[in-house]
Structure 1
Amino acid sequence: MMQSKTILNVYPDIDILMNEPLSKYTHTLTGGPADILAFPRSIKECQQLLDYANENHLPITVIGNASNLIVKDGGIRGLTMILTKIKKITSHENLVVAESGAALIDVTKAAQANSLTGLEFAAGIPGSVGGAVYMNAGAYGGDIENVVTGAEVLTPDNHILHLNHKQLDFGYRHSSVQDHHQIVLSATFALTTGIAEKIQKQMDHLNALRAAKQPLDLPSCGSVFKRPAGHFAGKLIHDAGLQGFQIGGAQVSMKHAGFIVNVDHATATDYLNVIAHVQKTVYDQFQVHLETEVRIIGEDPKQD
């Protein structure tokens, strides 16, 4: 771990932690340690960290708000960056520009404050802007691709690119950022002038629906599975009789079958075992393969 010690000396002004448990940061409250965990506060610091990783041949992992994420119990090798300190939001006319670490919920609030409509669907999505662009997040009939006109990204070889909507190549829970292993730095949202009170009313309505249907009172990684063609994942899981199924501390939510919640000090391995059981059971009963929407990263724990 010689490189681990060196990075603290090379970048004393960047917040860096060694061998830090990622369970402190994920919404599931699970996850093993990151060898090096850095919290850059600017694009320049992102570039400095990426340079260091490249020069020292370290794998690099980027995390936003860690809301739709499972980090395996073995943790993450190399350098991990959490971008939630890069969170500036600005607006001009019908555009809102938000840095990658900004909470998507805060962007919807900024839009409402400026009487801009189009982002109401995202009022309760707990992810960051970077994560939302990365996976084309969506809810209640809206998707990020409908409102984002472009994004600024950092390439693996440390060049900043401006990608337009076409270059982002959005698909269902997908963008080109995934394919090219890029880091989202900021995104531009093009919205429409509306009435602030009506925008707020719609946001309140959708948040009330979310609270009524989703297990927001328990740690979870959000919606676990993608919507299979012609079906709804939650209904398939419910119809398979899996609500309440539990391994260790991870349980298929009794409130919404599409969620897996941490009810008793769950581990990431518990989550993955529940996911595997749900996939097998649903396939056995309905011949439908449930593909995970949640991002699963890191290494398996070492066996004793």
Structure 2
Amino acid sequence: MTIHTETDVKLERFTNTRTGGTVNKMYYPINLNQLIELIQTLKKDNRKFEVLGDMTNVAIASGQLDFDVINMSKYCVSEPTLINNRELVVGAGYKMINLAYWSVKHKLSGLAWMEGIPGTVGAGIFMNAGFLFGQDIQTFLLEVKFLNLDTMQVETLKNADLKFRYRFSVLQEMNVIILEGRFLMNKIPNTFKGNLRYIKQMILLHKYHKRRSRNQPLDLPSAGTTFVPPTPWHVGGMLRELKLVGYSMGGAQISEKSPGFIVGVSNMTGEDYRNLVLFIQERIQDEYNLKLVPEVRMLGFKK
């Protein structure tokens, strides 16, 4: 089966930030054979490429970009597989929001918090997506299967070897493409108490949806929270102290609703987003002697 390919793709059509210039080609592999064949061809032709999913957490430079895109949003998106009522195998391209509803529908508890996380399971594993401790990938993931791009072999790492911390996994330091995750689940029994637990999970889905709508600027382009929280400090609080809430550079603005977000208010470009990131980092460094680390991937910019 031929890999679906688009040419002269404007990435601003796909990214949540509505930023990004044009790539020559974007590929949509749907299985492992297609993925391996594609990468071997790109390597043979000395083509640079970036691996992306739903592009919810990226800001990308404008203009003609010097890389192709392997889009994993259609990779193994068939329904998750439950093994022995305990282990859930999920393809990298499956959306986390969809997984939240799927798990509750099939009377599995634990993943309702994913309702508030945009993006795919693969991206979620890569960055240890989540909210609070206990509501994150590292709490439920047993192991991850990935393609090692150096050896072109499929490998597996257990949870303990992934070196999870806030918005980090060791996968970020490796040359890999995530293929699937295996999660440890709790099956809700068909009993009176089990039915109460099921109702509680449904209530949690509604709660997380309302929390996201209430606290996040979902009506504007953004990549979610911009920086890794420098515990115990709070980025939004520091920006309020510095009276920078609402501050803009080009079309990028420090969100008035949630200052931890950078939002697009007037045709924001990737350069606008990046410039505002650099400005915030400089001000926080000067005022608080703290080095902020972006959560958002910024691609295609000149050093």
Q: TM-score scaled to structure 2, two decimals?
A: 0.91
Corresponding residue of 1:206: 208
Corresponding residue of 1:26: 15
Code of the residue aligned with 1:240 in structure 2: it is: L
Corresponding residue of 1:155: 148
SS across alignment from 1:84: helix
Code of the residue aligned with 2:136 in structure 1: it is: D
Instruction: For 1:65 and 1:272, locate their aligned partners in 2 and report how far apart those are by CA, in whole Å.
Output: 20
Tell whether the 8 Å contact from 1:28 to 1:261 is kept in structure 2 after alignment. Answer: yes
Q: Which of 108, 111, 124 is matched with 1:119 structurally?
A: 111
Corresponding residue of 1:189: 183
Q: Which of 133, 138, 141 is matched with 1:145 structurally?
A: 138
Code of the residue aligned with 1:280 in structure 2: it is: E
SS across alignment from 2:219: coil
Give, in angstroms, the shift of residue 77 of structure 1. Answer: 2.4
Instruction: For 1:110 and 1:189, locate their aligned partners in 2 and report how far apart those are by CA, in whole Å.
Output: 14
Corresponding residue of 1:88: 78
Give, in angstroms, the shift of residue 19 of structure 1. Answer: 2.8
Structure 2's unaligned 5+ residue stretches are 189-196
Instruction: For 1:167 and 1:75, locate their aligned partners in 2 and report how far apart those are by CA, in whole Å.
Output: 38
1:101-159 Cα deviation digits (max 9, x unpaired): 11111111111112111112221100111110111111143220111111110111321
Code of the residue aligned with 1:77 in structure 2: it is: D
Q: Does 1:109 align with 2:101?
A: yes
Give, in angstroms, the shift of residue 175 of structure 1. Answer: 1.3
Instruction: For 1:201 and 1:43, locate their aligned partners in 2 and report how far apart those are by CA, in whole Å.
Output: 37
Tell whether the 8 Å contact from 1:100 to 1:184 is kept in structure 2 after alignment. Answer: yes
RMSD (Å) for aligned C-alpha atoms: 1.7
Aligned length: 290
Instruction: For 2:161 and 2:65, locate their aligned partners in 1 and report how far apart those are by CA, in whole Å.
Output: 30
1:209-224 equivalent positions in 2, closer than 5 A: 209-224=211-226
1:34-82 Cα deviation digits (max 9, x unpaired): 2321111222211111111121222221001111111122454233111
Tell whether the 8 Å contact from 1:38 to 1:82 is kept in structure 2 after alignment. Answer: yes
Q: Which of 15, 31, 34 is matched with 1:45 structurally?
A: 34
Structure 1's unaligned 5+ residue stretches are 1-10
Q: Which of 11, 15, 36 is matched with 2:4 structurally?
A: 15
Instruction: For 2:36 and 2:136, locate their aligned partners in 1 and report how far apart those are by CA, in whole Å.
Output: 29
Tell whether the 8 Å contact from 2:126 to 2:168 is kept in structure 1 after alignment. Answer: yes
Tell whether the 8 Å contact from 1:173 to 1:293 is kept in structure 2 after alignment. Answer: yes
Give, in angstroms, the shift of residue 91 of structure 1. Answer: 3.2
Aligned residues: percent identity? 28
Q: Which of 256, 262, 265 is matched with 1:263 structurally?
A: 265
Give, in angstroms, the shift of residue 291 of structure 1. Answer: 1.1
